[in-house]
Amino acid sequence: MNNRNLLAHREFLEGPFWQKIPAYRDVRESDFLDYRWQAKNSVTNSEKLFATLKGVVSEAFIADVRDGLLRSTMSIRVSPYILSLINWDAPYDDPLRIQFVPVKSRMRPDHPKLGLDSLNEQADAPVPGLTHRYPDKALFLPLNTCPVYCRFCTRSYAVGIDTEEVEKVPLGLDEERWQKAFDYIARTPALEDIVISGGDAFNLRARDLERIGMTLLGMENIRRMRFATKGPAVMPQKILSDTEWVDALTRVVDAGRKIHKDVVVHTHFNHPNEITAISRAAMDRLFERGIVVRNQSVLQRGVNDSVDTMQLLIKKLAFMNVHPYYVYVHDLVRGVEDLRTTVSAAVRLEKHVRGTTGGFNTPIFAVDAPGGGGKRDVHSYEFYDRATGISVYSSPTVRPGRHFIYFDPIHLLGDEGQKRWASPDEQRIMIADALNAAAR
């Protein structure tokens, strides 16, 4: 190993990198570092995207994006911060473009077995927006908006505004719904741990974030809480300039610490290019306040599925005191078949990543078992056939006795496997064979 590779994670992009985008040429640092400027100038429709990128990308690319948006399950929302980090000279292969800006030419037909809400979150929700799947923890979705929209969102059934493809389940900010969720949590003594996600906790007003946090801290049964936000990865400016929000978060964390309850932040970096000197300053700010941050990535083909990229990502995160917690094998959601990869790719990557750095800074590679089996270690399948791309998992703590199937993308299978998937009869045979083999 050469020295350069060992130290690359210590380099953080500095300077006015945004000024290379013509539309941001005159944007001063004080504006770029202001979250209000970032929010106001976020690109939220195709016209604004084309206006911002005029002269930067070709007409053909823009037409490709326009067609991509018509087929996307997510509406578009990208911060100037992220737009500035994309290499627009080669947009097709840029790992940030791939995550936030759809192009039709790269889309692939959906796998026949996938669907919206592949994790069955709504079926496990005793109250709309509160998924209680595991014995002692639950997932609370107080709102349905985010600072950006990711093409691959697992919650495309609810998050963001309607698209041509999807009419969303309404999970907007609704105090009555919140109260029902609080009531359920309070009367369910086994619950100790609440994930507050969304949408995105970044979009909660400071007083709402504090109210949710303090309400949960006030419940005797609740011991742990995590605020989930992609914010640090896509708009770190907020942590540096929205004092009201960061102070509210700090008050909840401090109040929890005094009564020996754990309040942390979970974030969502996927690629080292999302990490700059601004991110580092933001993470330093949280660290100084004693706020623990963990990271959950989504494994995506062409984004972070190479050993070098994943190693660099986790070393950069660790350097900023962000603990890499999970890397999720991509859920079986609609419209992003180009982004999924195989279970065997995830297994291989895991082997190469473990040992890169401290064990507590090494993520667990997990499959969230389709149909509501919960998160499983990717290596723990009962059966896996690389030819058909079918893996079978069991989940004794969540649904004992049941099997859950994950499907590799068809276009990454060999010829024989692809041929079999073209026939509905063969599909049934392959699935039955896999379930039989797993049961043996």
Ligand X SMILES: *Cc1c(COP(=O)(O)O)cnc(C)c1O
* Nearest residue to ligand X, by Cβ distance, number only: 139
Nearer to ligand X, 211 or 375 (CB): 375
Residue 155: name its binding partner from ligand X, ligand SF4, none (Cβ under 5 to 8 Å by kind): ligand SF4
One character per residue 184-203, x = contact with ligand X (rule: CB under 6 A): -----------x--------
Q: Is 146 one of the binding residues for ligand SF4 (CB under 6 A)? A: yes
One character per residue 200-239, x = contact with ligand SF4 (rule: CB under 6 A): x-----------------------------x---------
Q: How far is the CB of 262 from ligand X (least distance, A)?
A: 12
Q: How far is the CB of 242 from ligand X (least distance, A)?
A: 26
**Scanning the structure block, which residue is given the tokens 């941050």?**
293
List, in order, residues 6 or more apart from 372 with CB less than 8 Å away.
119, 120, 121, 123, 124, 133, 398, 399, 404
| 240 CB burial (10 A radius; 0-12, 13-18, 19+) | middle
Q: Which of 23, 96, 101, 139 binds ligand X (CB under 6 A)?
A: 139
Instruction: Name the residue type at position 122.
Output: Q
Neighbours of 208 (CB within 10 A): 17
Query: What is the gyration radius of the CA atoms in the chain, in angstroms?
Result: 22
Q: Which two tokens stand for residue 74?
A: 């997510």
The four Cα atoms 6, 283, 274, 319 give a dihedral, to 10 degrees, of 10
Nearer to ligand X, 74 or 119 (CB): 119
Q: Is 65 one of the binding residues for ligand SF4 (CB under 6 A)? A: no
Neighbours of 58 (CB within 10 A): 12
- Part in contact with ligand SF4 (CB under 6 A); list of ranges 123-131, 146-154, 269-277, 349-357: 146-154
Residue 23: name its binding partner from ligand X, ligand SF4, none (Cβ under 5 to 8 Å by kind): none
**Scanning the structure block, which residue is given the tokens 């970032």?**
38
Q: Measure the CA–CA gap between 293 and 267, rounded to whole angstroms.
A: 7
Nearer to ligand SF4, 74 or 103 (CB): 74
Q: How far is the CB of 377 from ligand X (least distance, A)?
A: 11
Nearer to ligand X, 19 or 120 (CB): 120
Evaluate whether 73 touches 156 at the Cβ level (below 8 Å).
yes
Evaluate whether 149 touches 162 at the Cβ level (below 8 Å).
no
Residue 131: name its binding partner from ligand X, ligand SF4, none (Cβ under 5 to 8 Å by kind): ligand X
Q: Which two tokens stand for residue 27?
A: 């944007």
One character per residue 372-411, x = contact with ligand X (rule: CB under 6 A): ---x------------------------------------
Evaluate whether 205 touches 247 at the Cβ level (below 8 Å).
no
Residue 95: name its binding partner from ligand X, ligand SF4, none (Cβ under 5 to 8 Å by kind): none
Nearest residue to 349 (alpha-carbon basis) of 311, 298, 307, 391: 307
Residue 153: name its binding partner from ligand X, ligand SF4, none (Cβ under 5 to 8 Å by kind): ligand SF4
Q: Measure the CA–CA gap between 40 and 65, rounded to whole angstroms.
A: 22
Q: Measure the CA–CA gap between 215 and 82, rounded to whole angstroms.
A: 34
Q: Measure the CA–CA gap between 117 and 124, rounded to whole angstroms.
A: 11
- The strand pairing partners of 405, in sequence order, are 392
Nearer to ligand X, 69 or 159 (CB): 159
Neighbours of 22 (CB within 10 A): 12
**Scanning the structure block, which residue is given the tokens 């969304």?**
198
- The strand pairing partners of 329, in sequence order, are 299, 367
**Scanning the structure block, which residue is given the tokens 């969230």?**
368
Task: Kindly identify the residues of this chain, within the stretch 74-133, that bind ligand SF4 according to CB under 6 A.
Answer: none
Evaluate whether 29 touches 18 at the Cβ level (below 8 Å).
no
One character per residue 336-375, x = contact with ligand X (rule: CB under 6 A): ---------------------------------------x
Q: How many of the chain's residues bind ligand SF4 (CB under 6 A)?
A: 10
One character per residue 347-386, x = contact with ligand SF4 (rule: CB under 6 A): ----------------------------------------
Q: Is 198 one of the binding residues for ligand SF4 (CB under 6 A)? A: yes
Task: Kindly identify the residues of this chain, within the stretch 119-138, that bind ligand X according to CB under 6 A.
Answer: 131, 133-134, 137-138
Q: How far is the CB of 145 from ligand SF4 (least distance, A)?
A: 8
Nearer to ligand SF4, 279 or 394 (CB): 279
Cα separations in angstroms, 13 against 83, 275, 278: 15, 8, 8
- Part in contact with ligand SF4 (CB under 6 A); list of ranges 195-203, 324-332, 394-402, 425-433: 195-203
Binding site for ligand SF4 (CB under 6 A): 146, 149-150, 153, 155, 159, 198-200, 230
Binding site for ligand X (CB under 6 A): 131, 133-134, 137-139, 195, 375
